[in-house]
Amino acid sequence: MKKVDIIKKIKWCLLLFYCFVFGQQENQYTQYMYNTSTLNPAYAGSRGVLNVIGTYRSQWVGIEGAPETHSFSVNSPIGVKGVGLGLSYIGDKVGATDTGFLSGDFSYTIQLSRYTYWAFGLKAGLNYFSLDVNKLNPESPQDPNLGNISRSALAVGSGLYLYSDKWYVGLSVPNLLETEYYDDVKSTSVSSKAHWYAMGGYVFDLNYRLQFKPAFLLRAVSGAPFTYDMSANFLLNEKLTLGAAYRGGRSAISALAGFQVSDGIFIGYAYDYDVTPLSAYNSGSHEILLRFELTTRLRRAICPRFF
C-alpha cells in the first residue's frame, strides 16, 4: 500500500473517531456569543431590533470530508409586547453525511426590573439527514447491508434566557426529540440525540474606551463526553474586538477578531488550532460571521450590546 494511501486512511479513522465516538451530532461555533439564536430560541427579539446573522465554518482544513457548516438566522421583536420571532437554518456536511435544520423560534419576555429581563422560548422545525455511501470509499465495493439514507423528522426545542445589557445566562435544548433515521430495506439506522446547552457572559467596563467580556458555553448529550467553551474578548471604542478561547473535551485553542463596520454591520473571524492527534493532519479551522441589524445611532447609544 502506498504511503499516501496509508496517511489518507489514518486521517479518515481519526476523523470518524472524533466525530462519532465523541458524539458531536450538532454544529459547533467558536463565535457562539454572537450566534445564540441558533442554540436558544428565547434569544429571539432580545436585541430589540431586526437581527440577521450568517456564518460559515470550515473545520480541520486539509482533511477530506472534514466538517463544513453554514447557518443563517433572522429574529426580531414584532411589536406585540414581549413577543419575539425568529427563523434559522443550519446546514452541516461531514464526509458522506449531510444534515440540515430549518426552524422557527418564538420567545416571550418578562421585564423583572428596570434592566433585567427573563425570556422563554420555543423552537419547532424539521431535521434533515442524508448519507451517500458512494462517498465513503469509492475504490472499494460497498457493504450490501449499508444503503443510502435520506430522511427528515420533526424537531421541537425550548430555552430560557435571563439577561440585562451587561450580562446573560441561558439554558436550552434545540431539539428535545430523539430521532432515529432508519432504512427499511438495508437495515441501516442513524440516531440523533438531544443536546443540552448552558451559556453565560458578563461585560466589564474597564474604562470608557475598553470593555472586557468573558463567556462560556457548556454542552451535554447522552453517550458522549461533556464539553465546554471558555472565551475572553476585549472591545475597544465599541469598534474592534479581540479575544481568545479554549474548547475543552474536543481540545482546541482559538483566536477571535471582530470589527463593527457601522452601527448595523459587524464582521467576525475566528481561527481554531487543534491540539488533538488530528492536528498533525490539518491546518486548523476557520469561521466567518456577518451580523446585520436594522438599528439607529440613538438605539446604540441607549443600549450598547456586546452579545
Structure confidence by residue, pLDDT tens digits, 115-156: 999 999 999 999 888 877 776 665 555 555 556 778 888 999
**Residue 46: what pLDDT?**
93
Confidence of residue 212 (pLDDT cuts 50, 70, 90): very high
Count of beta carbons in the 10 Å neighbourhood of residue 21 = 11
The predicted model scores a pTM of: 0.82
CATH number at residue 30: 2.40.160.40
Which has more confidence, 180 or 112? 112
CA–CA distance, 136 with 147 (Å, rounded to integer): 11
For the segment 216-229, the average pLDDT, to the nearest whole number, is 86
Domain that holds residue 9: 3-302
**pLDDT at residue 184 above 80?**
no
CA–CA distance, 276 with 205 (Å, rounded to integer): 36
Pick the range with the lowest mean pLDDT from 12-16, 75-79, 98-102, 233-237: 12-16
Residue 191 C-alpha cell reads as: 440516531
**pLDDT at residue 11 above 60?**
no
Sign of the Cα torsion 155, 293, 296, 47 reads positive
Is 55 inside any structural domain? yes
Is 290 inside any structural domain? yes
CA–CA distance, 39 with 57 (Å, rounded to integer): 16
Phi then psi for residue 16, to 5 deg, are: -65, -40
Is 84 inside any structural domain? yes
**Residue 6: what pLDDT?**
45
As for how many domains the chain has, the answer is: 1
* % the chain with pLDDT above 70: 78
Which has more confidence, 181 or 258? 258
Is 215 inside any structural domain? yes
Is 243 inside any structural domain? yes
Is 307 inside any structural domain? no
∠ CA 274-276-277, rounded to 5°: 120
**Residue 278: what pLDDT?**
76
For the segment 34-53, the average pLDDT, to the nearest whole number, is 92
**pLDDT at residue 49 above 80?**
yes
The H or E element containing residue 297 is: helix 297-302
Answer for the pair 228, 249: CB distance below 8 angstroms, yes or no.
yes
**pLDDT at residue 1 above 70?**
no
**pLDDT at residue 271 above 90?**
yes
For the segment 291-302, the average pLDDT, to the nearest whole number, is 65
* % the chain with pLDDT above 90: 51
For the segment 291-295, the average pLDDT, to the nearest whole number, is 87
Confidence of residue 26 (pLDDT cuts 50, 70, 90): low
For residue 77, the cross-strand partners are 84
Q: Which residues of 257-282 are buried (b: 16+ CB within 10 A; e: fewer)?
A: ebebeebbebebbbbbebeeebeebb
For the segment 246-273, the average pLDDT, to the nearest whole number, is 91
For the segment 27-43, the average pLDDT, to the nearest whole number, is 90
Average per-residue pLDDT for the chain:
83
**pLDDT at residue 286 above 80?**
yes
**pLDDT at residue 58 above 50?**
yes
**pLDDT at residue 57 above 80?**
yes
**pLDDT at residue 302 above 60?**
no
User: What confidence tens digit (pLDDT) does each residue in 83-112 have?
Assistant: 999 999 999 988 778 889 999 999 999 999
**pLDDT at residue 304 above 80?**
no
**Amino acid at position 250, single letter:** R
**Residue 4: what pLDDT?**
47
